[in-house]
Amino acid sequence: MRNVLFQFLLALIFCCSGYGQSIRDTAKFRTQLSISYAIQLPEGDLKQRFGWNSNLGLFLDFKLKSNWVIGLNSQFIFGNQIKDTSMLSDMLTSDGQIINQNGNYARVQAYERGWNFSGNFGRVFSVIGPNPNSGILVKLGIGFMQHKVRIDAEQNLVPQFTGDYKKLYDRYTNGISFTQFLGYSHMSSSRLANFFGGFEFTQGITKGRRERQAGGPTDLQDDRIDLLMGIRVGWIVPLYKRAPRDFYLD
């Protein structure tokens, strides 16, 4: 029995060390999920409407043995730095307040909300890192961007900000987007620390989609160039195939 146990432990150590050596020495095909966060600054037309924003990303990538990467990307854009409040101009009192349906000052908050969906391709250049699966990561993407202003009034006491009426104030905008990423991707040989980080740039060719908007300029449906630039960091969850468990004892 003691001999069988010894052979079992020996076989287990051999299998694990062999698999770890494979990860260290060769590039692998891998399906991986990534969760990321970015802080972004707007430029172009977007800078006139919003300040800095946060961005949460969820990526599904397929890394080929050749280190090419293809995948899908979903990003949620959010913030509370609203520069353009012209949609409220017709509602403000002389002291800059909004009156609710009870005749009192309303507590109103405005937020930036948006999405960016894209398909991506790129490559890991394994010039640095602990193994061929790590290195400089370059990715390009094309997709769809949208953003708007979300306005909330306390207890929904401002009818203009409820139901379909709120669409008059949201500056709803969308269009095609292009994204570039340059950074570093790290895949640990021990699988314990898999992460990436780098610079991300997004360009949106967008347009206002509401036919009617309250209290604003008449050019809301003109073509826009919405730009975002920022730093993104994320954690990678590789979906490894289960290693075979069969072994033989003489």
Q: How confident is the model over 44-89, as pLDDT tens digits? A: 999 999 999 999 999 999 999 999 999 999 999 999 999 999 999 8
Domains of the chain by residue range: 27-239
By the 10 Å C-beta count (0-12 exposed, 13-18 middle, 19+ buried), 204 is classed as: buried
Q: Is the dihedral of CA 29, 31, 35, 36 positive or negative?
A: positive
Give every CB contact of residue 136 below 8 A, 6+ residues apart in sequence: 124, 125, 127, 128, 182, 183, 184, 185
- Most confident range, picked from 2-6, 14-18, 67-71: 67-71
pLDDT band at 242 (very low <50, low <70, confident <90, very high): low
Containing H/E element for 18? helix 2-25
pLDDT digits (tens, 9 = 90+) for 80-110: 999 999 999 889 998 889 999 998 999 999 9
In tens, the pLDDT along 166-183 reads 999 999 999 999 999 999
Cβ-contact 213, 226 below 8 angstroms: no
CATH number (1.10.3720.10, 2.40.30.10, 2.40.160.20, 3.40.50.150) of 27-239 reads 2.40.160.20
* C-alpha–C-alpha distance, residues 141 and 120, integer Å: 4
- Please tell me the predicted confidence (pLDDT) of residue 25: 52
Task: Identify any residues that bridge with 183 across adjacent strands, giving them in sequence order.
Answer: 137, 198
For residues 19-26, give the mean pLDDT.
48
Q: Which contacts (CB < 8 Å, 24+ apart) does range 17-20 have?
A: 19/243, 20/189, 20/190
Rg (CA), the chain: 25
Q: Which value, to the nearest 10 degrees, does the dihedral of the CA atoms of residues 221, 224, 230, 233 take?
A: 60
